[in-house]
């Protein structure tokens, strides 16, 4: 697969970050472990600390073919086969020396910072890490958007937690005072990067789409959802990505895929659920071989729903961090998720939608059959339901998924032919028959 310039740039950024992490015990930089949904990267970096995201390490291990061994190590240590495979991949990596996905050793955390955003597993995961590392832990409780919005009281509750719990914990670990002006500047950089990311995501409304918003999208969101939001290099990355997408728009080109550049796009899809990481390119190729481009996906909103209008606001630093945390995809109710899918199908002129139900991720998979039926009812568009896993190769059946997808695309072709077929002429009534 030919790599875009932005992919190469991102790889270099990530490599430099992991080298800096490996050197942290010598340089004295503090390290904060946190998660993608609702991460407080700007706040962490405003204290001069470096973020580590365990689920990013797990998915990178899956893409590099390392997760199978890590999962086996965790299960040998007593972790159930039903536990989230991200957790087992991370725990297994830790038990085998904590060598990160780029081959550098990850330092132990100086602080575990959990922003709870709808995934109960995160809490248990950090309990395990706390037992192993015996380090300080701080918890930001983010109220669930059961009614589709966060109230003023809930927002104030989150801001109070930041002031009374999270900031003091960061001050104690780093030895630095809270610097609100520095945080404001980082939030300005975040907002600039977010604007460029949304421009890229909205480019998929074009025909042909210059991007793939699911498989390609996981690269686009990488710096934003991990360690680089609020940094100059993150803002520069998104400016470069936007320029790259503009070049494809001007040339009327589609995105690069494992099957080559996808200019001839036969199907426009919306996808719900995370991708499979252990067979990522093979999974992607099942779509690109059919000329299917993904124009919108919910997974690329797990670290922020920027395309629905949110931008970090430097004039209200702590309040905007709370707004961000509460708006992540996994913190939305099922009715909200259904509304989002329906809006994507309509706004991006999708021909179909696919749900990838991930065995070990209850935050996504719970309620997906209900989502499927309701989206079909509201849009009149048929959906496909496939099943795999995050980073456990034992639960990826290429033949089964390929058969389901081929049947689905064939059904979409038949629907298209039927819609284009002229109606059959009316059969005249038999003159001798009774009306």
Q: Is the pLDDT of residue 196 over 90?
A: yes
Q: How many domains does the chain have?
A: 1
User: What's the rounded Cα separation, in Å, for the pair 198 and 217?
Assistant: 11
Residue 51 backbone dihedrals phi, psi, to 5 degrees: -85, 145
- Written as six digits, the tokens of 356 are 């990838």
pLDDT digits 0-9 by tens, 206-232? 999 999 999 999 999 999 998 999 999
Write down the pLDDT at residue 312. Answer: 97
Contact at 8 Å (CB) between 270 and 296? yes
The answer as to whether 119 is a domain residue is yes
Write down the pLDDT at residue 348. Answer: 98
pLDDT digits 0-9 by tens, 277-326? 999 999 999 999 999 999 999 999 999 999 999 999 999 999 999 999 99
pLDDT digits 0-9 by tens, 125-160? 999 999 999 999 999 999 988 787 889 999 999 999
Q: 386 pairs with which residues across the strands?
A: 356
Write down the pLDDT at residue 422. Answer: 78
The answer as to whether 390 is a domain residue is yes
pLDDT digits 0-9 by tens, 365-408? 888 999 999 999 999 999 999 999 999 999 999 999 999 999 99
The answer as to whether 426 is a domain residue is no
The answer as to whether 283 is a domain residue is yes
Kindly give, in sequence order, each residue whose CB lies less than 8 Å from that of residue 122, ignoring residues fewer than 6 positions away.
Answer: 35, 114, 116
Q: Is the pLDDT of residue 434 over 80?
A: no
Kindly give, in sequence order, each residue whose CB lies less than 8 Å from that of residue 274, ignoring residues fewer than 6 positions away.
Answer: 299, 302, 356, 358, 361, 364, 390
The answer as to whether 5 is a domain residue is no
Range of the domain at 47: 16-418
Write down the pLDDT at residue 46. Answer: 98
How many other C-beta atoms lie within 10 A of the C-beta of residue 223? 26
The answer as to whether 432 is a domain residue is no
Q: Is the pLDDT of residue 435 over 50?
A: no
The answer as to whether 120 is a domain residue is yes
Higher pLDDT, 432 or 216: 216
The answer as to whether 9 is a domain residue is no
């Amino acid at each position: 697969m030919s790599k875009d310039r932005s992919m190469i740039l991102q790889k270099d950024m990530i490599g430099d970050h992991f080298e800096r992490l490996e050197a942290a015990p010598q340089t004295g930089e503090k390290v904060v472990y946190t998660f993608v949904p609702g991460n407080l990267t700007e706040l962490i970096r405003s204290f001069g600390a470096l973020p580590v995201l365990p689920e990013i390490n797990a998915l990178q291990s899956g893409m590099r073919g390392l997760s199978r061994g890590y999962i086996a190590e965790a299960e040998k240590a007593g972790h159930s086969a039903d536990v989230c495979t991200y957790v087992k991949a991370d725990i297994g990596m830790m038990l085998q020396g904590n060598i990160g996905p780029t081959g550098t050793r990850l330092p132990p955390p100086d602080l575990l910072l959990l922003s709870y955003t709808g995934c109960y597993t995160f809490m248990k995961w950090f309990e395990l890490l706390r037992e192993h590392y015996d380090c300080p832990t701080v918890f930001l409780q983010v109220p669930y958007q059961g009614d589709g919005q966060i109230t003023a009281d809930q927002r104030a509750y989150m801001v109070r937690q930041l002031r009374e719990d999270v900031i003091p914990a960061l001050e104690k670990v780093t030895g630095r005072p809270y610097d609100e002006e520095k945080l404001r500047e980082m939030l300005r950089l975040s907002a600039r990067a977010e604007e460029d990311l949304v421009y890229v995501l909205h480019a998929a409304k074009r025909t042909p789409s210059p991007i793939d918003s699911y498989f390609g999208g996981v690269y686009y969101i990488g710096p934003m959802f991990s360690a680089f939001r609020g940094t100059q290099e993150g803002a520069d990355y998104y400016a470069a990505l936007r320029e790259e997408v503009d070049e494809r728009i001007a040339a009327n080109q589609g995105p690069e895929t494992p099957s080559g550049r996808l200019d001839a796009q036969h199907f426009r899809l919306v996808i719900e659920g995370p991708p499979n990481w252990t067979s990522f390119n093979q999974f992607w190729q099942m779509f690109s071989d059919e000329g299917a481009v993904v124009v919108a996906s919910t997974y690329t909103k797990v670290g922020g729903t920027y395309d629905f209008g949110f931008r970090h606001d430097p004039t209200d630093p702590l309040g905007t961090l709370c707004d961000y945390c509460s708006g992540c995809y996994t913190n939305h109710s099922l009715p909200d998720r259904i509304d989002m899918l329906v809006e994507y199908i309509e706004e991006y002129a999708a021909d179909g939608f696919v749900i990838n139900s991930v065995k070990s991720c209850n935050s996504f998979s719970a309620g997906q059959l209900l989502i499927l039926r309701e989206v079909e009812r509201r849009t009149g568009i048929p959906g496909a339901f496939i099943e795999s896993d995050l980073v456990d190769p034992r639960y990826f059946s290429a033949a089964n998924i390929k058969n389901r997808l081929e049947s689905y695309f064939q059904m979409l072709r038949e629907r298209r032919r039927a819609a284009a077929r002229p109606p059959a002429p009316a059969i005249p009534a038999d003159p001798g028959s009774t009306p």
